[in-house]
Amino acid sequence: MPSPRYTREIPQRFRLEAVKCDKDGKIYFPPRTGCISGKCKKFTPIKLKEEGSVLTYTVIHVAPTQFEAQTPYIVGIVELDDKVSITCQIVDCSPDEVEIGKRVRVVFRKIQEEGDHGIICYGYKCVLIR
Amino acid sequence: MVGIVGYGTYVPTYRIKVEEIALQWGDDPESIKKGLLLKEKTVPGPDEDTITISVQASKYALQRAEIDPKDIGSVYVGSESHPYAVKPSGTVVADALGIGPEVHVADFEFACKAGSEAMYAAYSHVKSKNMPYALAVGADTSQGAPDDALEYTAAAGGTAFIMGDNGKTIADILVTYSYTSDTADFWRREHQFYPQHTGRFTGEPAYFRHVLATARETLRRGNVAPEEIAYAIFHMPNGKFPLRVGKMMGFTMEQLEPGWVVPRMGNTYSGSSLTGLAATLDIAKPGDKILMVSFGSGAASDGFILSVNERINEVRRKAPTFEEMIESNKIYLNYGQYAKFRKKIIMNS
């Protein structure tokens, strides 16, 4: 990920910052500048809830180069408690521990490194609530 | 009075047992366990480093402090394993927690003493009324060379303290003291992967000289006798050193045990004595006095005497305790997994 883009996305990747439409209350994550209806451009910034449930998941055995050392690892779609879905890794557990519906908590982790010379990218992942 | 308004510890999920490391190198695990008084150590996950550990520990500290992160005037991260050689850890920690941008950020380095150094600077800022709150973190994901004694102890973890003077301190800081000399007992040169140490020289002229001098003078300045201290924490490079220094100072096992976290965790370097203090705060009662003495090779010790307040009972349950984290959700690694996680072997990529 090029570092200028990474830096610009810090509010959403580090702090789960989203926006809520002032008109219909719809939450947009990542934040948008205009409502999907095209009729509203007034939003209130909000921070998403840090707990949710696993909607679905898959286990990656053949990974892109920068994730090879982590195989097998889990990528899931998590519905946070404010009904916003995020895609992220589910970590600190084995694949057979994950089930649809299990409760998870958002944690701050290293997402990837741009090789040995580039920046280290951080962001959100989830762990099971035990 | 200035003191700690919030504290938080983070313990990684992954562990490796002494037996598993000893098996690789033909060592006798029972003799290692007896010699180091250590059973297992924490290992950072492949997506964990000093920054992620600092963020999680600080998040728990904020939960206990119940303050607006924007009121924090400084973020100091002490570590000997900052992920970048040039680029601060503290900026990531501050942005992840919603602190700043009006904040003073610095990374500290002083072998295992960088965390208490951060505490000292944070405490001093609040005491001099430069800012209402200051965050200090000690965290590490240190490396020990394969088949070196350090490989059994070099662990991962961290603890954060928020200093403040808002009338809601968990523990007031009564005394601070530092004792420093140029002593080459442990070091890592630039571009080197593993640290070097001087074996037995790390004991008497380094650890014991600085820790004992600091403990004695900190107590003298506080006009406190060892028997008036409820709990004492000494830096934990292994299980034996802190118990020996505690005994030399006249402390009992009851005074030392709550903060003696090393047998189940290993040495978390900059996080070591700070995690011992956090584990002690988890069980301390209002009115208890606590002595903490850090040690960093190179070499120096920082001493603190704290007095615990009623608020400890209100905030303790607002974040996970050390005991909950050390005993729950453990995933044990074999040596191959450990070597891969810690990048000790060259993988084909």
Band of the pLDDT at A68, cuts 50, 70, 90?
Answer: confident
B266 pLDDT higher than 90: yes
3-state secondary structure string across chain B: CCEEEEEEEECCCEEEEHHHHHHHHCCCHHHHHHHHCCCEEEECCCCCCHHHHHHHHHHHHHHHHCCCHHHEEEEEEECCCCCCCCCCCHHHHHHHHCCCCCCEEEEECECECHHHHHHHHHHHHHHCCCCCEEEEEEEEECCCCCCCHHHHCECEEEEEEEEECCCCCCEEEEEEEEEEEEECCEECCCCCCCCEECHHHHHHHHHHHHHHHHHHHHHHHHCCCHHHCCEEEECCCCCHHHHHHHHHHCCCHHHHHHHCCHHHHCECHHHHHHHHHHHHHCCCCCCCEEEEECCECEEEEEEEEEEECCCHHHHHHHCCCHHHHHHCCCEECCHHHHHHHCCCCCCCC
**From the list B45, B55, B83, which residue is nearest A120 (CB)?**
B83
Residue of B nearest to A47 (CA): B98
B129 pLDDT higher than 60: yes
> Which pLDDT score is estimated for A1?
57
A10 pLDDT higher than 60: yes
pLDDT in tens, B74-127: 999 999 999 999 999 999 999 999 998 999 999 999 999 999 999 999 999 999
> Which pLDDT score is estimated for B349?
58
Residue of A nearest to B43 (CA): A92
Q: Residues for chain B: how many in total? A: 349
Neighbours of B149 (CB within 10 A): 17
CB spacing of A122 vs B51 below 8 angstroms: yes
B147 pLDDT higher than 70: yes
Band of the pLDDT at B264, cuts 50, 70, 90?
Answer: very high
Question: Phi and psi dihedrals of B127, rounded to 5?
Answer: -65, -35
Tokens of B50: 């000093």
> Which pLDDT score is estimated for B259?
98
A38 pLDDT higher than 80: no
Asked if residue B275 lies in contact with residue B157, where contact means CB atoms within 8 angstroms, the answer is: yes
Chains A & B: contacts with CB separation below 8 Å: 57
- Considering only CA atoms, which of B335, B315, B319 is closest in space to residue B3? B315
List Cα–Cα distances, B303 to A60, B10, B123, B287, in angstroms: 49, 23, 13, 19
A125 pLDDT higher than 60: yes
A2 pLDDT higher than 70: no
CB spacing of A107 vs B56 below 8 angstroms: yes
Residues in chain A closer than 8 A to B48 (CB atoms) = 109-110
Contacts for B329 with CB less than 8 Å, ≥ 6 apart: A92, A130, B13
List Cα–Cα distances, A50 to B86, B266, B295, in angstroms: 31, 30, 37
pLDDT in tens, B220-234: 999 999 999 999 999
Q: The complex's ipTM? A: 0.95
> Which pLDDT score is estimated for B191?
86
Active site residue B210: no
Lowest mean pLDDT among A25-34, B103-112, B155-164: A25-34
Tokens of B152: 């059994």
Tell me the residue range of the domain where A95 lies: 3-128
pLDDT in tens, B6-62: 999 999 999 999 999 999 999 999 999 999 999 999 999 999 999 999 999 999 999
List Cα–Cα distances, B97 to A19, B34, B253, in angstroms: 18, 41, 38
Partner A, chain B 59-78, Cβ-Cβ below 8 Å: 59
* pTM (whole model) above 0.80: yes
CB spacing of A92 vs B55 below 8 angstroms: no
Task: Say how many domains are in chain A.
Answer: 1
CA–CA distance, B89 with B140 (Å, rounded to integer): 12
B235 pLDDT higher than 90: yes
Residue of A nearest to B342 (CA): A69
* Minimal C-alpha gap between A38 and chain B (Å): 31
CA–CA distance, B98 with B72 (Å, rounded to integer): 10
B218 in contact with chain A, both atoms CB, cutoff 8 A: no
CB spacing of B95 vs A68 below 8 angstroms: no
